[in-house]
Amino acid sequence: MIATLSPAQIEYLRSQRLGRLATIRPDGSPQNNPVGFRYNEALGTVDIAGHNMGASQKFRNLAKEARVAFVVDDIASVQPWEVRCLEIRGTAQALRDVDTYLAGGSRELIRITPERVLAFGIE
């Protein structure tokens, strides 16, 4: 089932530049990488582009296992302590030969379709 993000969650994603993408390596071990991203409002997906994306391990991991977790979090305040977090669990596609949002980036893209959204400190 596809999960829909709330307007507040979408706005939070738009305010951030860096997230972490967890994929599963072919040997079954997890891999977690910092990545830039964009929320694709037309499709309700999170798109991840980069330089030489198609050669990256995270891109290759998707050939065997499409399940991923993507996390964006930050500390909004230390006085008082206020942490915000958005975790998106879902499936990802490793797309080739596509236009991406990243000028000068390669023509590969990871597109995450949310299936479960966990959040705190955002609403």
Q: What global pTM score does this model have?
A: 0.94
CB < 8 Å & 24+ apart, contacts of 71-76: 71/19, 71/20, 71/22, 72/12, 72/13, 72/16, 72/18, 72/19, 72/20, 72/37, 74/16, 76/121
The per-residue pLDDT for 78 is 95
Three-state DSSP at 62 gives coil
Assess whether the previous peptide bond of 30 is cis (omega < 30° from 0): no
Provide the 8-state DSSP code for 55. Answer: G
Average pLDDT per consecutive 10 residues, the chain (123 residues; last block may be shorter): 91 96 96 96 95 95 97 95 96 96 92 97 91
The per-residue pLDDT for 26 is 94
The per-residue pLDDT for 104 is 86
The per-residue pLDDT for 3 is 87
Three-state DSSP at 32 gives strand
CA distances for 88 relative to 51, 70, 101, angstroms: 23, 5, 20
The per-residue pLDDT for 123 is 84
The per-residue pLDDT for 116 is 97
